[in-house]
Structure 1
């Protein structure tokens, strides 16, 4: 038996990873804190040196393709923090909600990043005392050689001792050999991560140099009036962005089906923001709800005031992937505004609180060609918002300043041919994901069916948490499609629709759990009923306008101060 134990701790968001680490080593990890870079924690237990690597979490139902590259790279590179390699991987699973097939697939795909050999070194660590009834959970345990442990938080000393005994069993079963980190696949990911960090610093310096130059030649003058149009896909955080800009809950929580504008004073300036219908992340404009693109053009055309916006703000969530598919769909929407729209566009990354420990440039470089293409199309103009902290008005001031700089830059003629050359190179990359041959009506029906099922799943999960609202609400979603729809011939279409649905369900459940009052109050039932009704609005295909300015269209949890 080795005196030292090196373990990598894995799990999805809210999986109790931090609680497990704190129970073993003492209170060393902040609970419910988002992070990207893996962190090593050392301590001594029963005379043995213990090293635990706390890894970034993935979302419970997210497919591997929906997780950002930066998270996946940092997840894999966790093994290099405990050289020569970890003895064991602790896969922490919280069973407060039923374990589903989607949970199993998410775990299997994320662990596949380490290679097949990881399963020989893995123990499933359950943080609830429920019996292992789920067949999908049993399949995960079987892949781990039937190794699992129910962690006892009430009697920590016994729980830790039993866990260390099982870790010793894993080490013995592997002939005292640790997980091998000198694997070409793992080393290649480490090299990519390190190269991305170098490129991120270079991008940061380039952006800073451009800003400094504009100030040096006195080209930037704050505009007394600003007109801004927000664009982006559903659940991107557009409406929360409006509320952050004005430091106030501007829009009522209701479902609307057209663009909505608001004018207010920000830092002594008159600012008008037009919030626009959102589009699907994975489907083209042909099957997007309410014909979002037409609605935007109609709204802008009807307002003489907004026909000449100073800035188009393209809102992109930071905590999800951006691939060629998203590049193609965004291009479909932006082309409607003319060739010059990109000169007036800034990419605004939302959910900035999810990536507190890496720079936005690291995310851009890690994510790959598609996101870098988008940033280049916008002439390297991008910004980050944390909409959970509406009191941080510095982020708003910086965004308005960036708009000032963009307006100033567009009024200048540049003799530098490099920018034009870079734009040509990126546009010359015409490789696109082939779109599925779609019957628009059929896709909309399939999407409706998916969201109906997701809504029922949300109600089921709330019931499992002790909140049974059966019969209390009559919902649109209860209306079922008359005939089951056959996916069999379209596996790729099935995967697209499932991914849209899982992203929706995960985001809404996370919003609810983040805002749930730990102390039951008299009006909790009423609040949850209201929340369910808003979920039901979202489960109808018509919910896809971004002007559903509800916390569930852009459900970034906001502070209550």
Structure 2
């Protein structure tokens, strides 16, 4: 059901790394909404397909791996689930290329966490399909190209080497046409052409798209729903597939949104049980200590101690029939087990972050 010349390109990286601006440069027009805020309301992947150099290229701009605030941990967990589910559905049956977008700066533990998280979600062979694209190219020192910058960091060297040496650099703000005349390498137009050429070459070498169990399961569900919609409505295959993707994504998100209610219930039960256990173990010792304590010189009123009355537990939520395949449930669980560093705020203008 997929056109053989359709290339699916997914942009991944931290919030504020310049993914949407890069996507717009690849498409040659302002398609995607650009936001520099980590709490932006865009929480689903944006997609757009365009004929570029004779190929249909679908660019998938993801919201970002990082950026959630600690104060909104619960909401952030739900959002990360929705973001990754949206990414899986939009790039099914699998991406031909992943553009790992990161600013020109020190390779911090946050960048390492992003790389590890992407590796966890897409599998061990993800780097065969990955191109590193640096943004904020104006931060490069004069007479320094991106490969020389990479050589200065052991972490970046290892990452780019794992990606087959594929890396490029753009600048979404300062590389104007006037400034590009003196150095063609510092040209967004030149770099975008190089990026697309690298995508085509890498796809030709791989002879396939990136796939894993989760992507295969998502594609099966999309095709099943697409067949039903096409038979019932008579829509074209392209239109019925778009409707099928939306339907499958809505189902996954609906199931994922039910998870927090069980988490809350478990937390209440655990909290109340902890209070009860503390009362049972500690209060008798306190009472015994007070009885055996010598009298004080001045009379001290003794307040009666009563064991706390445990509150009635709320009824457990009704068990909802499982509608998400186990492989998708496993994916959701892995999303919620990200390291603590994924909740730290990222400042794109701090070049000394460590």
Find the aligned partners of 1:338 and 1:127 in 2 and give their Cα distance.
59
What's the offset of the Cα at 1:7?
0.5
What's the offset of the Cα at 1:60?
5.9
What's the offset of the Cα at 1:39?
2.0
Find the aligned partners of 1:425 and 1:48 in 2 and give their Cα distance.
47
Find the partner of 1:31 among 31, 34, 39: 34
Question: Does the aligned pair in 2 maintain the 1:76–1:113 contact within 8 Å?
Answer: no
1:86 paired to 2:105: no
In structure 1, the partner of 2:201 is: 169
For residue 10 of structure 2, give the secondary structure of its aligned residue in structure 1: strand
1:338-382: CA deviations, max 9, x gaps?
A: 64487xxxxxxxxxxxxxxxxxxxxxxxxxxxxxxxxxx4xxxxx
In structure 1, the partner of 2:12 is: 10
Note the aligned Cα RMSD (angstroms): 4.4
Question: Does the aligned pair in 2 maintain the 1:62–1:106 contact within 8 Å?
Answer: no
What's the offset of the Cα at 1:135?
1.9
Alpha-carbon distance change, 69 to 193 in structure 1, aligned in 2, over 3 angstroms: farther
Alpha-carbon distance change, 91 to 76 in structure 1, aligned in 2, over 3 angstroms: farther
The count of corresponding residues between Structure 1 and Structure 2 is: 238
1:149-548 paired onto structure 2 within 5 Å: 149-153=168-172, 154=175, 155-174=187-206, 176-180=207-211, 183-188=212-217, 195-199=251-255, 328=267, 331-332=270-271, 339-340=310-311, 377=314, 420=315, 422=316, 499=340, 503=343, 505-506=344-345
What's the offset of the Cα at 1:159?
2.0
In structure 2, the partner of 1:52 is: 59
What's the offset of the Cα at 1:143?
2.1
Alpha-carbon distance change, 62 to 106 in structure 1, aligned in 2, over 3 angstroms: farther
Question: Does the aligned pair in 1 maintain the 2:96–2:210 contact within 8 Å?
Answer: yes
Alpha-carbon distance change, 105 to 341 in structure 1, aligned in 2, over 3 angstroms: same
Find the partner of 2:131 among 114, 118, 123: 123
1:170-218: CA deviations, max 9, x gaps?
A: 11221x32223xx4333457879664445589x8xxxxxxxxxxxxxxx
1:5-26: CA deviations, max 9, x gaps?
A: 3211111111100110111111
What's the offset of the Cα at 1:92?
0.7
For residue 145 of structure 1, give the secondary structure of its aligned residue in structure 2: coil
For residue 49 of structure 2, give the secondary structure of its aligned residue in structure 1: strand
1:110-163: CA deviations, max 9, x gaps?
A: 332112222211101111334122222222222212211112542332121111
Structure showing greater Rg? 2
What TM-score do the two structures reach when normalised by structure 2? 0.54
Find the partner of 2:21 among 19, 22, 25: 19
Alpha-carbon distance change, 84 to 195 in structure 1, aligned in 2, over 3 angstroms: closer
Question: Does the aligned pair in 2 maintain the 1:56–1:75 contact within 8 Å?
Answer: no
Question: Does the aligned pair in 2 maintain the 1:4–1:48 contact within 8 Å?
Answer: yes
In structure 1, the partner of 2:166 is: 147
Find the aligned partners of 1:178 and 1:101 in 2 and give their Cα distance.
29
What's the offset of the Cα at 1:86?
2.4
For residue 68 of structure 1, give the secondary structure of its aligned residue in structure 2: helix
What's the offset of the Cα at 1:37?
1.9
What TM-score do the two structures reach when normalised by structure 1? 0.36
For residue 120 of structure 1, give the secondary structure of its aligned residue in structure 2: helix
- Structure possessing the higher relative contact order (Cα contacts under 8 Å, 6 or more residues apart): 2
Find the aligned partners of 2:52 and 2:318 in 1 and give their Cα distance.
59
What's the offset of the Cα at 1:88?
0.7
Alpha-carbon distance change, 193 to 179 in structure 1, aligned in 2, over 3 angstroms: same
For residue 30 of structure 2, give the secondary structure of its aligned residue in structure 1: coil
Alpha-carbon distance change, 135 to 333 in structure 1, aligned in 2, over 3 angstroms: farther
In structure 1, the partner of 2:115 is: 107
Contiguous gaps of at least 5 residues in structure 2:
141-148, 176-186, 222-247, 276-307, 321-336
For residue 123 of structure 1, give the secondary structure of its aligned residue in structure 2: strand
Question: Does the aligned pair in 2 maintain the 1:99–1:134 contact within 8 Å?
Answer: yes
1:226-268: CA deviations, max 9, x gaps?
A: xxxxxxxxxxxxxxxxxxxxxxxxxxxxxxxxxxxxxxxxxxx
Question: Does the aligned pair in 2 maintain the 1:77–1:189 contact within 8 Å?
Answer: no
Find the aligned partners of 1:325 and 1:139 in 2 and give their Cα distance.
41
Question: Does the aligned pair in 2 maintain the 1:61–1:102 contact within 8 Å?
Answer: no
